[in-house]
Amino acid sequence: MKHFANPDQKDWSSILRRPSLEAASLEPVVLNILKEVKEGGDDAVKRFSAMFDKCSIDLLEVSAIEIEEASSQVSEELKGAIQQAAKNISSFHKKQIPVGGPMETMPGIHCWRRSVAIEKVGLYIPGGTAPLFSTILMLAIPATLAGCREIILCSPPSTEGKLHPAILYAAKLAGVSKIFKVGGVQAIAAMSYGTSSIPQVFKIFGPGNQYVTCAKQLVQKDGVAIDLPAGPSELAVYADESAHPEFVAADLLSQAEHGIDSQVLLVAATRQLIEEVEKEIEKQLIQIPRKQIAKTVTDRSAAIQMNNVDKAMELLNFYAPEHLILSCDESEDLASKVVNAGSVFLGHYAPESAGDYASGTNHVLPTNGHARVLAGISVESFVKKISFQKLSRKGLSRIGQTVKLMAEAEGLHAHAQAVEVRLKGYVAAPEFVERKK
């Protein structure tokens, strides 16, 4: 790791710089696929699947039989694990279902908001060697709790035209309504514009490679919403003297194994601790299959010694990591100082992997500094809140004069008129002036 000791605040920005994302060069290719699918529908989707996924698919939708077969191909052990994870994720996310009744801002003026599910949502799950079924739980469970009418899933098929059984099992369990064997830009295009077999959706969720990311960015111009801006996964660990170097090293490696672009940061109270963690990294690296990736990532990562804990928290808030582990006895005190982070893990027994899979929190989180502004996925990501108001004539009379004065001062006389026509001949109630809510 690259060492820094109590760096000056003016250097934080360069020490913590993230790799810049450059998607512009992919745009022409991606735009072309989007256009072809928009115009050519299923035929174009199949053509691109043949080209990129090297598979020829007749029926894009996964059949009920295939889903049933998949279930028998997943070990009972893994099914049990997926069920337990789903149960915890469901418990945690259930608490996010918004409630909120009407209120009277003044007598006769009733205002409220109602949470309404986004009707149609699309989930994208990348293919490749490792099937990310955990992400299906993280997206489909809150979508189901929100009450989305249609929850579709697209994932690229193998060359045999199949999806991984664990993907199908998790999707079924979490409430996905339709599953399609389509990946890449053609999947994003199909969900954005609709084809004869794939329904158009209003919002697209889920990770993907740089082409998928670019496609998600571009379809926004056509009014399709997306979950979160993309960026490589990140973990920052704060460790003080109470930390176990072995645990800290394991956490850093679990982040580092994700991919060559993973971001890892260690902030430690002492130089000694940094050295101990590095020794542990060396030791543990040997034991993991993805050691090459993990080593490349940890080698280029920063380890910052910060003698002052408040300054350390300031630096971490400045960085705004996706994941933050506070490896210390006083983790709850420190937690109150966290202002910018996606998901925070407290104490010595909360590894990031607990939240990645099974504790119940969501693992789809803001990266690339967006934690300053955005939260991870929740039930709220699948609803919007509509405002309602109902006024009695008397209620309107209470704010009539206010509306008229403000509208006229803004030069909007027809706004005032909409009140006037309703209050013509109305005699204000005696409590009009002094009545207070």
As measured in angstroms, the least distance from the Cβ of 303 to its own copies is: 18
Q: Which of 129, 159, 286, 425 binds its own copies (CB under 8 A)?
A: 129
As measured in angstroms, the least distance from the Cβ of 8 to its own copies is: 19
Q: What is the Cα–Cα distance from 220 to 206, expressed in whole angstroms?
A: 15
Q: Which is nearer to its own copies, 197 or 317 (CB)?
A: 317
> Rg of the Cα trace of the chain?
26
What residues numbered 36-95 form the site for its own copies, per CB under 8 A? Answer: 77-78, 80-82, 84-85, 87-88, 91-92, 95
Backbone angles phi, psi at 123, to 5 degrees: -110, 135
- Amino acid letter, 241: E
As measured in angstroms, the least distance from the Cβ of 46 to its own copies is: 26
Q: Tell me whether residue 322 is one of the annotated catalytic residues.
A: yes
What residues numbered 325-344 form the site for its own copies, per CB under 8 A? Answer: 331-332, 335, 338-344
Q: Which is nearer to its own copies, 36 or 356 (CB)?
A: 356
Q: Which of 190, 203, 238, 267 binds its own copies (CB under 8 A)?
A: 203
Stretch that binds its own copies, among 34-42, 62-70, 172-180, 390-398 (CB under 8 A): 390-398
Catalytically annotated residue among 93, 164, 258, 323: 323
Backbone angles phi, psi at 182, to 5 degrees: -145, 135
Catalytically annotated residue among 257, 280, 322, 352: 322
Stretch that binds its own copies, among 3-11, 40-48, 182-190, 289-297 (CB under 8 A): 289-297
SS3 284: helix
> 103 - beta bridge partners?
111
* Residue written as token pair 């939240």: 355
Measured in whole angstroms, the distance separating CA 91 from the mean position of its chain's CA atoms is: 18
- Tell me: does residue 266 bind its own copies (CB under 8 A): no
- Give me the helices (H) in 286-390, please: 291-300, 309-319, 331-335, 352-357
Query: Closest Cα partner for 365 from 337, 344, 339?
Result: 344
Interface characters, 96-125, with its own copies (x: CB under 8 A): x---x--x-xx--x-x-x--x-xx------
- How many chain residues bind its own copies (CB under 8 A)? 124
Q: Tell me whether residue 380 is one of the annotated catalytic residues.
A: no
Query: Closest Cα partner for 375 from 361, 385, 354, 387?
Result: 361
Which letter, b or e, does each residue of 119-139 get, where b requires 16 or more Cβ atoms within 10 Å of its Cβ?
ebbbbbbbbeeebbbbbbbbb
Backbone angles phi, psi at 185, to 5 degrees: -60, -35
Stretch that binds its own copies, among 41-49, 53-61, 303-311, 370-378 (CB under 8 A): 370-378
Active-site positions read 322-323
